[in-house]
Structure 1
Amino acid sequence: MNITIRNEQPQDFDTITRLTEAAFKNEAHSSHTEHFIINDLRRCGQLTVSLVAVEHDNIIGHVALSPVRISSGATGWFGLGPISVCPDRQGQGVGSALMKAALAELQRLGSAGCVVLGDPRYYSRFGFTCHPGLTLPGVPQEYFQALAFAGDVPTGSVAYHPAFQATR
C-alpha cells in the first residue's frame, strides 16, 4: 500500500462528500448523514482536522475531527469521525493509516484527548478505552471511548457540535 495522508484542500470537498456517502451507504448503524455532518462542520468552522488518504492521485479515505464539549468544563478534547474509506479499499489498512495520522495531528496541536463513538474492537487498537465517568447521552457505554494525550480522562457528559444533527 503506497498512500499519502494530507490535509484536505478545497478541490477535495466534493470527492470527500461522495466518498463518505459511498462508505456508509450499506452500513446498518449509519444515519446516512455523515457527508452532511462533514460539510456542516466545515461550514461552521468546526472541522479542526480533515485528512485525506491519497493513492495515485485518488482520494480513497477521509477522517474528520472536531471539538467536543464536556459538561465538567474540561477543554482541549476532540471527537473523531466520521472516518470513511472507499468500499473497495476497506480492510486494507487505509482506515488505520488515517487513524494514526489523525491522532498524531491532535497530539501535535496540543489537544488533551479524543473521544470516539464506534466499535470498541476496532478503536481499542489505537488506545481508546471505555471510561464509565465519561458518557455520550443515549449511547451504550461500551461504544463510547476516549484516549487521553495529557492528564486523565475527564468525567462528564460529552456533546458534539450541532452539525452532527445535519440532515442535508
Structure 2
Amino acid sequence: MNQMIVIRNETHDDARVITEVTVAAFRTLAVSSHREQFVIEALRAADALTVSLLAELNGSVAGHIAFSPVTISDGSSDWFGLGPVSVFPELQRQGIGKTLIREGLERLKALGAKGCCLVGHPEYYRQFGFTNPEGLVIEGVPQEVFFALSFDGSLPQGSVVFHEAFTA
C-alpha cells in the first residue's frame, strides 16, 4: 500500500463519522450484535474512551479504534480493553486496522497502562503479541476468543469485566 495512513485523536466533530465507519465495518459480520456504535457512544458519554483514534487515508477517515478501562476481579489496575476497531469494508486488508492497533497499544503504554485485553478473532490478534491467558477470563466468553497482552510482564488472575457501556 503506497498511501499514507495518518493516525490522530478523536475530536468532538468526529462522532458522526465514527458511527458511520463502525456501522459499516460490522454490518455483515455474523458474530456482531450490530450495537458496536452504541458502545462507543456510551463510552464517550461516560468519559471512558481512554484512547480513541481515527485513521485517515488521503485526508478521509478510514477507520477507528477505541480503548477503555476494564475491571479485574483480583484488583489489578491500569488494564484496558481494546474494541471496537473498525475500518470501512472497501479499505480493509490494507493495513489500516493493524496501524490503529499498534498505535493504540503504544499510546496505552505511554499512559502507564499495564496491559490490554480483548475479545476477537482467534488468529488475528496473535500477531500483536496477544495470547489466550491462563487464569484470566471473561465470564461467558470462550477462552479461544479472549486475549490479553501484558506490558509489564505480569498477568492478572480472575475475571475481566469490560466497561458497563458494552451493555449499551
TM score, norm. by length of structure 2:
0.97
Q: In the alignment, which residue of structure 1 is the partner of 2:153?
A: 151
User: 3-state DSSP class of the match of 2:133?
Assistant: coil
Q: In the alignment, which residue of structure 2 is the partner of 1:76?
A: 78
Per-residue CA distance 1:26-80 (angstroms, 9 max, x = gap): 0000010000000100000101000000112210000000000000000000000
Measure, in 2, the Cα distance between the counterparts of 1:67 and 1:22: 25
Which residue, out of 9, 16, 22, partners 1:20? 22
Superposed displacement of residue 120, structure 1? 2.2
Does residue 87 of structure 1 match 2:95?
no
User: 3-state DSSP class of the match of 2:81?
Assistant: strand
Name the count of aligned residue pairs.
Answer: 166
Measure, in 2, the Cα distance between the counterparts of 1:76 and 1:44: 17
Q: In the alignment, which residue of structure 2 is the partner of 1:129?
A: 131
Deviating 4+ runs (over 2 angstroms): none
Measure, in 2, the Cα distance between the counterparts of 1:98 and 1:70: 25
Amino acid in structure 2 at the alignment position of 1:90: Q
Q: Which runs of 5+ in 2 are unaligned?
A: none
User: 3-state DSSP class of the match of 2:33?
Assistant: coil
Q: Which runs of 5+ in 1 are unaligned?
A: none
Q: In the alignment, which residue of structure 1 is the partner of 2:101?
A: 99
Q: In the alignment, which residue of structure 1 is the partner of 2:143?
A: 141
CA RMSD of aligned residues (A): 0.7
Which residue, out of 34, 37, 46, partners 1:35? 37
Q: Does structure 2 conserve the Cα–Cα contact (< 8 Å) formed by 1:120 and 1:129?
A: no
Measure, in 1, the Cα distance between the counterparts of 2:52 and 2:141: 25
Measure, in 2, the Cα distance between the counterparts of 1:125 and 1:7: 24
Measure, in 1, the Cα distance between the counterparts of 2:80 and 2:165: 14
Measure, in 1, the Cα distance between the counterparts of 2:130 and 2:161: 18
User: 3-state DSSP class of the match of 1:68?
Assistant: strand
Per-residue CA distance 1:90-113 (angstroms, 9 max, x = gap): 111100000000000000001000
Measure, in 1, the Cα distance between the counterparts of 2:17 and 2:133: 35
Measure, in 2, the Cα distance between the counterparts of 1:91 and 1:4: 16
* Identity among equivalent pairs (%): 51
Q: In the alignment, which residue of structure 2 is the partner of 1:109?
A: 111
